[in-house]
Amino acid sequence: MLPIWMTIALPLAILYAVFLIWYGGNGKPMTADEINAGLRELQATDTSENATAAVEDVRQLLASDDGKEFVMQNLVRYRPRALYPPGYDYGDDPREADKRYGRSIIWPLLRNGNLLLFIARRSGNFFVPAGADDWHYVAMVRYRSRRDFLKFAFEANRADKFVHKWAAIEKTHVFPVKPVVSLISVRLTIGLFLLALGLALNTAFA
């Protein structure tokens, strides 16, 4: 019979290994055929009036694919009032529309190994250069890879989801970044949590 500490440690170690596999972040770059096929599928799923420009933006993003994880910086400005197409009766609050979009993409994000790291509302002004946009909030989303970003985009661009984003957002600036210095370490946080859980269980059952 295994000692108590090993009975506790083995399942937690397996759980952490499964998490690391899901979280990934160090895969192979997409091939040219993959990129072209993905862009064709994305264009077929994107029914917005700016579909062609959006697909070209994604093409530019995929062109720098190295197979590794990255963070997408999102700067967002709401419309004065939510602008839903005829036939949608959701009210005119752009923040509520944005919340509907956020709720609709949680599972597609997680399923593809992606994670919302940070979101913050603007709380004032400091240095505002001439012509600067008046953003309402900033969000940072970690993607497992550009391949997984593309998988997520297929689902996020579905009409039943995208309509809420379109209704809420007047303008957005989105671009990928590579952390140079960061105190956000999801792998370390999960590892320390499981370690603390294991120690607590060992103390309780020892």
**Rounded CA separation 30/81 (Å):** 40
The answer to whether residue 151 scores a pLDDT higher than 70 is yes
User: Could you tell me the CATH number of the domain that includes residue 141?
Assistant: 3.30.70.100
**Rounded CA separation 3/166 (Å):** 57
pLDDT value, residue 60: 93
Structure tokens at 162: 């995208």
**Rounded CA separation 117/31 (Å):** 28
The answer to whether 137 and 121 have CB atoms below 8 angstroms apart is: yes
**Rounded CA separation 94/192 (Å):** 38
The answer to whether residue 45 scores a pLDDT higher than 80 is no
What's the half-sphere exposure (Cβ side, CA atoms, 13 Å) at 141? 20
pLDDT in tens, 98-134: 999 999 999 999 999 999 999 999 999 898 899 889 9
Tally of domains in the chain: 1
Domain of 58 in residue numbering reads as 4-205
Mean pLDDT of the chain: 92
